[in-house]
């Protein structure tokens, strides 16, 4: 398993190419996309029901799918361990890039 870089980044723009490099495996990207979609559905359920447990479901589903992708398919350590905020931002930018057809799905 490749370790996540310990390198620091001055901006998200500098981080995102590193983030994409850590998501070269198509199955890993698909799992990220699935987890993010489930997280969005959980957030919609939170708004519709007012039940705060849906927030926990959003967090767990998002990370669970992503971490399976990294450990089982990408064979690397998730960037969220070293760069949590940039990694979360990267998840949503990658999600949007997949929706727009900028990244292969």
Question: What rounded mean pLDDT belongs to the chain?
Answer: 94
Q: Distance between CA atoms of 63 and 33, rounded to whole angstroms? A: 11
Mean pLDDT of 13-24: 97
Categorize the per-residue pLDDT at 7 as very low, low, confident or very high, splitting at 50, 70 and 90: confident
Check residue 1 and give its pLDDT. 55
Mean pLDDT of 2-13: 74
Q: Distance between CA atoms of 46 and 97, rounded to whole angstroms? A: 26
Check residue 6 and give its pLDDT. 54
Terminus-to-terminus CA distance in the chain, angstroms?
23
Prediction pTM value: 0.89
């Amino acid at each position: 398993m490749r370790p996540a870089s310990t390198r620091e980044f001055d901006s998200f723009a500098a981080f995102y190419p590193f983030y994409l490099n850590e998501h070269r495996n198509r199955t890993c990207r698909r799992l990220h996309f699935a987890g993010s979609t489930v997280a969005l559905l959980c957030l919609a359920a939170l708004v519709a029901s007012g039940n705060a447990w849906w927030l926990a479901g959003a967090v767990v589903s998002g990370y669970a799918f992503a971490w399976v992708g990294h450990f089982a398919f990408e064979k690397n350590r998730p960037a969220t361990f070293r760069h949590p905020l940039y990694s979360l931002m990267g998840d949503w930018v990658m999600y949007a890039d997949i929706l727009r057809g900028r990244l292969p799905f």
